[in-house]
Amino acid sequence: MSEVKELERRFPLPGVAFDDATGLIRVRITGPEWDAEVFLQGAHLARFARRGDPLLFMSGKSFYKPGKALRGGVPIIFPWFGNHATNSALPAHGFARTAEWTLVDITRRELDTLLAFRLSAGETTLAVWPHEFTLDYEILLGEQLVLTLRTRNNGSSPFTFEQALHTYLLIDDISQAVVQGLNGVEYIDKTDGMKRKRMNVHAFSINSETDSVFVNTTATCVVEDPVLQRRTVIEKEGSNSTVIWNPWIEKASAFSDFGDDEWQRMVCVESANAADNAITLGPGESHEMRVRLLDAGLS
């Protein structure tokens, strides 16, 4: 029996369909006023739209190949953020976003749906990160989008990790959108030699390549898009870093999985624990990070 047929057998639910039309196994879910798509590779949420209005950006040039990260949606970053600290041959952002996750459960309710995924240590992960762990990831689809990532240390010694929900938000025009919520927060500017700086405005726009890791912040962020008449609120728990990213013109053109002009229609607001905020878990300990995204509309 094919994997798609097996998933259909396990989850014979209304509004839930499986396919591998792109080359990767995908689950499509339809709710009363929303729809979503999630790939089993990376437990990757690629689409969430309420009333047909997509919240997330996905590149039209994204690869859909086993072992290749998808460009857009919500990649899961674990157990390191960015390049590996000591081995440049290892994949950037770790292995979680390209690993095959297990779909554990789908719970359908009247207004929302909960998907549960799991990734555990195995031969492939132990070869590059020698720690026993379990990641449990829940995607709650409904009036809000709620993402919960739990990390557990199943080994006999402590380990330290970084993580992020690398959320690509769809916007109409980067030159008109603004980001709020990070005033006064220190950040690492990865486009300027990792210099430490401090945000000194309540709302900022993006007008050049941006790759900033804001540290020691639990603040709620808001992205205002006057063209789409959208005010996206990003609330978080268990996250002490926020990353803002846009590749801008030159870097976007260098990506083979990113359209030359697509940088104008996206901004990443990533809830994370990275750099200063890496997490250490002792044996048997666990950590939970939760992110809520809501389109509040412009007042």
Residue of 37, 162, 224, 270 marked catalytic:
270
d(CA 48, CA 30): 10
Instruction: Go through 168-187 and write b for each residue having 16 or more CB atoms within 10 A of its CB, e for each that does not.
Output: bbbbeebeebbbbbbeebeb
Name 114's bridge partners: 107, 140
* 270 noted as active-site residue: yes
| DSSP H helical ranges for the chain | 3-10, 123-128, 248-254
* 93 noted as active-site residue: no
d(CA 100, CA 232): 30
d(CA 249, CA 27): 33
Residue of 93, 138, 166, 262 marked catalytic:
166
Instruction: Go through 281-296 and write b for each residue having 16 or more CB atoms within 10 A of its CB, e for each that does not.
Output: beeeeebebbbbbbbe
Phi-psi region of 201 (alpha: psi -120 to 50; beta: other; left: phi over 0): beta
6 three-class SS: helix
Catalytic residues, which ones? 166, 270
